Amino acid sequence: MPKKFIKRFLPDHQSIKDQKALKMFGTVLHDPNLWHLNRKSASGAFGIGLFFAWWPVPFQMWLSAALSIPLRVNLPLSVATVWITNPFTMPPMFYGAYMVGTWVMGSPQQDFEFQLSWSWVVQSVETIGPAFLVGCAVCSVFFGITGYLGLNALWRYSVAKAWKRRKKLRVTNTNDQR
């Protein structure tokens, strides 16, 4: 069942409440709905986390937390899902977003070579920036919605499967007692 699987990887809610970066949210973090794990809260949190994972900004976790609180979805799952983008996954994800952006805009792909310098960043914003940002926006919406619907469907499937297994076990036990 997704609930048991997800709970294994989530940190304790008290350790998250104690994070200095989240102190700006104040007592709002004491809402029990932010820590409860059910189909609605997990699906929403996963969708929000995937949505912000595609944003090329350094404060994705704060954005994810800021949207999770008013929508009352699982805060730890939302913040943890953002970490799909990490130093290892960012290059292929963001290159894919650039490719999507060029496709959506109908612009030709430009050859570029990454350089770790401020001048390269400034030049890239002018050349590949628009296609990259459009691609990030498209991927953000697409994967956010897909993540929400996918986890929702997986959760429903696993609950239905568990119910069928219990029903079969109940019928087997009833037949054995006769």
pTM to 2 decimal places: 0.77
Span 148-173, mean pLDDT? 88
- With the CA atoms of 42, 70, 21 and 80 taken in that order, what torsion angle do they form, in degrees rounded to the nearest 10? 10
CB of 65 closer than 8 Å to CB of 22: yes
| Host domain of residue 166 | 2-177
DSSP state at residue 27 = G
Which pLDDT band, with edges at 50, 70 and 90, does 170 fall under?
Answer: confident
Span 162-168, mean pLDDT? 87
State the chain's mean pLDDT as an integer.
84
User: At residue 5, does pLDDT exceed 80?
Assistant: no
CB of 19 closer than 8 Å to CB of 79: no
User: At residue 1, does pLDDT exceed 60?
Assistant: no
Separation of alpha carbons 17 and 29, rounded Å: 7
Q: Determine the pLDDT at residue 120.
A: 73
Q: Determine the pLDDT at residue 47.
A: 96
Sequence-distant (6+) residues with CB within 8 A of 159 are 1, 39
User: At residue 30, does pLDDT exceed 90?
Assistant: no
For 85-110, write each residue's pLDDT tens digit.
988 998 899 889 999 999 999 988 88
Largest CA distance in the chain: 81
For 122-131, write each residue's pLDDT tens digit.
777 778 888 9
Q: How many domains does the chain have?
A: 1
